[in-house]
Amino acid sequence: MQKVGFFRSIHVKFVIIYVLLILIAMQIIGIYFAKELEQTLNDNFKNSIIDRVNLLEFSVREEMLRQRTEEDPTLEQSLRTVLSGFSSDDINEVRVIDSKYRILATSELDNQTLVGQRTNVDLIRNSINAESEFENTVLDKTNKRVWVLAEPIIADGEVIASLYIQSNIEKVFGQINEINQILAGGTAFSLGITIVLGILIAQTITRPIADMTKQATAMAKGNFARKVRVYGQDEIGELAKAFNHLTTGLQEAQSSTESERRKLASVLSNMTDGVISTDRKGRIILINDTALGMLGVPREHVLNRPAPAVLGLEQEYTFEDLVDQKEPVTIDFSTDDQPYILRANFSVIQKETGFVNGLIVVLHDITEQEKIEIERREFVSNVSHELRTPLTSMRSYLEALADGAWKDEEIAPSFLHVTQTETERMIRLVSDLLQLSRMDSREYELNIDIVDFVKFFHRIIDRFELMKSKDVQFIRLIPPGPLYTEIDMDKMTQVIDNIISNALKYSPDGGNVQFSVLVEEERLKVSVSDDGMGIPEANVKRIFERFYRADKARSRAMGGTGLGLAIAKEMINAHGGDIWAESEEGRGTTVFFTLPFELEEAGEWD
């Protein structure tokens, strides 16, 4: 969070506003008060002077109009007496000037020399000429303010003289100054108090705000534990309460969103289907682990990338196409040796207005399904093919017989023999298929016996040795035994019969067939090797598939159905063992299988 600058803080602003308000109010009051006071003091001062001057005017007029005798003092003398009785500390000097502007008397002792001289003071001249009073405030020699007044003395409608008074108004200004100073001091004092109060009051507002700011910052970081202190019942207190309420609400909302999010995340991550969600422009905003695994890409490589490109569909589809795509799309990631097919279903995230907000892609791995489907199709075609071949050959023989060959004593029995072998072959095929189908649907049970595998194996080999039609040497690398195993004898006989008959079938005259039994840690490893034609490297694994024949024409000619090893594999697996083959083309083949075996347990049966 950015820190608020000192001068920008509400705290300082508040104090400044307070101070300015008080200052302005004090100034307005001060100016008005000072003006009024000055006016009143001035008026009072002047009125008191004027009152006295009016008395003086009367005395002076009397003196000037009096008829004088020889014994009487002169006009100047009696005027001086009048003036001397008129002195006071607020009047500096009083002069009497006749209508010819000559000074008749002055109250100021130092200025007695001026008596008899003409005056040239404008105020006096104006007052005498205009027959009315004139006044002014001027500075005297000592730079003090004085109020001067010229008052004409009128008798019988004629100006006979003028009174000129200089009064000391400076005292009034002094008083005003003193009062102004008191006012300024008061202002300063109240400003000081205002500043302190302002700071305190501002704090009551800024502290909860600062608190709330801190809490908002904490909330942004996911900490909802804090609470704002409520300082009072005012608006800020209400705001703090509302803020606390908001915090609780937010916390609840956040935790419910969080739990929803967790639920969704766990659903998404535990889904066996891949889920991808895009924004309205088709860029991936969410992808679960399953989808990442299916596409074989790290998350950071696909986030924010266009979905069609990530799904490898950018050639055929744009994002808009996918939005309109109702049917699932099959995406084939198969390589030459690894089938891998995904099915993608699309659903649009849409607002009520129809505005497309995004797309959800659900990926489903259908490789197994596809594989099964392909196998099923192959199986059906193989079965029909296997059945059709003997049936067509039978039909031609039967047709020939019906056409009259039955009469031929030489041909008829051989033709009948062919149809008989073909029928037997079909029966064998069908019974093999039935057996496989029973195994597929687990509708069989193993009749387990505890058997000495050595004796059991020798007996089967002996049977083949007696019956063999080829000149093949049998080599037995079998430990003396006994080695007790738990097996279903019939089923195991069928397995070993098939392996040995294959070895004989694909061995040349004069070849060797080698039998071995190896006791390993927890199993018996049995193998049958021949030095016959072998199987091409790439096909070795496939010989355990149903109907698979390495060399179709040859094996069919040898009467095989291609189901023998498939059945063997099912049976060995049912016994809890493994079966595999190793082969080299032209050099021979070895078929291995294992059976579970425990040495110690076997000892008990010794």
Q: Please identify the residue of the shown chain whose CB is closest to the bound Mg ion.
A: 564
By the rule CB under 6 A, 565 interacts with ligand ATP: yes
What does 551 interact with, of Mg ion, ligand ATP, none (CB < 5 to 8 A by kind)? ligand ATP
Which of 278/502 has CB closer to Mg ion?
502
By the rule CB under 6 A, 288 interacts with ligand ATP: no
What does 563 interact with, of ligand ATP, Mg ion, none (CB < 5 to 8 A by kind)? ligand ATP
**Cα dist from 446 to 365, 435, 576, whole Å:** 35, 13, 12
Size of the site for ligand ATP (CB under 6 A): 23
What does 569 interact with, of Mg ion, ligand ATP, none (CB < 5 to 8 A by kind)? none
Report the C-alpha gap between 557 and 552 in whole angstroms.
Answer: 8
Among 162, 167, 278, 561, binds ligand ATP (CB under 6 A): 561
Nearest to 288 by CA among 306, 269, 311, 263: 269
Query: Which 501-560 positions form the footprint of ligand ATP (CB under 6 A)?
Result: 502-503, 506, 530, 532-535, 543, 548-551, 555, 560
Collapsed DSSP state (helix, strand, coil) of residue 523: strand
The residues, any chain, with a CB within 8 Å of residue 294's CB and separated by 6 or more, are 274, 342, 363, 365
Minimum separation from the CB atom of position 571 to ligand ATP (A): 12
Which of 94/550 has CB closer to ligand ATP?
550
What does 275 interact with, of ligand ATP, Mg ion, none (CB < 5 to 8 A by kind)? none
Minimum separation from the CB atom of position 279 to ligand ATP (A): 55
Nearest to 590 by CA among 486, 518, 492: 518
Which residues of this chain interact with Mg ion, rule CB under 5 A? 498, 502, 564
Phi and psi angles of residue 51, each rounded to the nearest 5 degrees, phi first = -55, -45
Binding mask 470-499 for ligand ATP (x = CB under 6 A): ----------------------------x-
By the rule CB under 6 A, 433 interacts with ligand ATP: no
Which of 288/529 has CB closer to Mg ion?
529
What does 529 interact with, of ligand ATP, Mg ion, none (CB < 5 to 8 A by kind)? none
Cα first-last separation, the chain: 86
Q: Please identify the residue of the shown chain whose CB is closest to the bound ligand ATP.
A: 564
**Cα dist from 38 to 4, 162, 183, whole Å:** 48, 29, 14
Contact stretch for ligand ATP (CB under 6 A) within 92-100, 133-141, 385-393, 562-570: 562-570
H or E stretch at 516? strand 512-519
Minimum separation from the CB atom of position 399 to ligand ATP (A): 28
Among 107, 325, 589, 594, binds ligand ATP (CB under 6 A): 589
Report the C-alpha gap between 407 and 411 in whole angstroms.
Answer: 9
Kindly state the tokens that stand for 137: 């405030």
Which of 91/550 has CB closer to ligand ATP?
550
Minimum separation from the CB atom of position 555 to ligand ATP (A): 4
Which of 57/432 has CB closer to Mg ion?
432
Q: Which amino acid is at 508?
A: P
Nearest to 45 by CA among 172, 222, 198, 213: 172
Burial 141-166 (b: 16+ CB within 10 A, else e): eeeeebbbbbbbbeeeeebbbbbbbb
Collapsed DSSP state (helix, strand, coil) of residue 534: coil
Minimum separation from the CB atom of position 433 to Mg ion (A): 15
Minimum separation from the CB atom of position 597 to ligand ATP (A): 25
Which of 1/553 has CB closer to Mg ion?
553
For residue 433, how far is the Cα from the chain centroid?
Answer: 60
Minimum separation from the CB atom of position 479 to ligand ATP (A): 23
The residues, any chain, with a CB within 8 Å of residue 478's CB and separated by 6 or more, are 454, 457, 458, 515, 516, 517
Collapsed DSSP state (helix, strand, coil) of residue 193: helix
Across 400-522, where does the E strand assignment appear? 448-452, 473-477, 484-488, 512-519
Report the C-alpha gap between 150 and 435 in whole angstroms.
Answer: 153
Which of 146/504 has CB closer to ligand ATP?
504
Give me the residues that bind ligand ATP (CB under 6 A), please.
Answer: 498, 502-503, 506, 530, 532-535, 543, 548-551, 555, 560-566, 589
